Chains A and B, each alone.
Chain A
């Protein structure tokens, strides 16, 4: 059994979206530290969806499955070479991020699975996090960097 929640936020109140995603993940049984990083990843992706769509509109659909929480974000926007952007690695030159561009590398480092597709001028990103992960985030066990 699963259920879905649709969230429509705006650029001015992004912290509320991050708080709401975190709250829903905790209510669905996700560990605090996993909910923290998933809320950051989803909030970041949704913020980008809002910022880069022509009318600053994007929908976030959270699907709560038995073992996994999935976040789907779709918006009209320019094409992104998502696959070519590397997952964050602490050995990279940090100066490249002084004015941004850390969003996608960070998202890739924080979730268990990420899928990006583009169709009819729309970008869609689907982020997944396992609810009952035995990996200890505070030991960096989800990150293979």
Chain B
């Protein structure tokens, strides 16, 4: 699993890629570091992710929760059909605001 980071204005975009099945997920520590740096507007780009295991999903949910507690926000970009189905089935689409592209997600903060 890899996380790469890019900045688009005030918004930090985290691109996840690689195997997200049953792996230790580093996104929550990563997001906590961003919060410490004052970066509280985060888009998670899932365009390179096919399957999503519970460890990865749990870490992302904790990231959302930590950002919300810090008065920040996390949005999702490019989720595959499989991930969208998973979010709907777990009613997480009511929690994670999702967009078809990274630009749409970034612009939604304005």
Report A's interface with B, CB cutoff 8 A: 11, 14-15, 18, 32-33, 36-37, 39-40, 43-44, 47-48, 51, 88, 90, 93-95, 97-103, 106, 109-110, 137-140, 142-143, 145
Bound CA–CA A100/B56 (angstroms): 8
For window 23-49 of chain B, which residues contact chain A by CB distance below 8 Å?
A: 28
A100 to B28, CA, bound (A): 11
Main SS at interface, chain A: helix
Q: Take A36-B81, A47-B21, A51-B22 as given contacts and tell me if A143 and B62 are in contact as well, using a CB distance cutoff of 8 Å.
A: no
**Bound-complex Cα distance A106 to B57 (A):** 10
Task: Please count how many residues in chain B sit with their CB below 8 Å of the partner chain's CB atoms.
Answer: 31
B residues with a Cβ closer than 8 A to A are 19, 21-22, 28, 50-55, 57-59, 61-62, 64-66, 81-82, 84-86, 88-95
Q: Once the chains bind, are B22 and A40 in contact (CB under 8 Å)? A: no
Q: 15 A-B contacts, Cβ less than 8 Å apart?
A: A15-B21, A32-B81, A36-B82, A36-B86, A37-B85, A44-B54, A90-B92, A97-B54, A97-B58, A97-B61, A102-B55, A102-B57, A110-B89, A138-B84, A138-B85
Q: Are the C-beta atoms of B55 and A36 separated by less than 8 Å? A: no
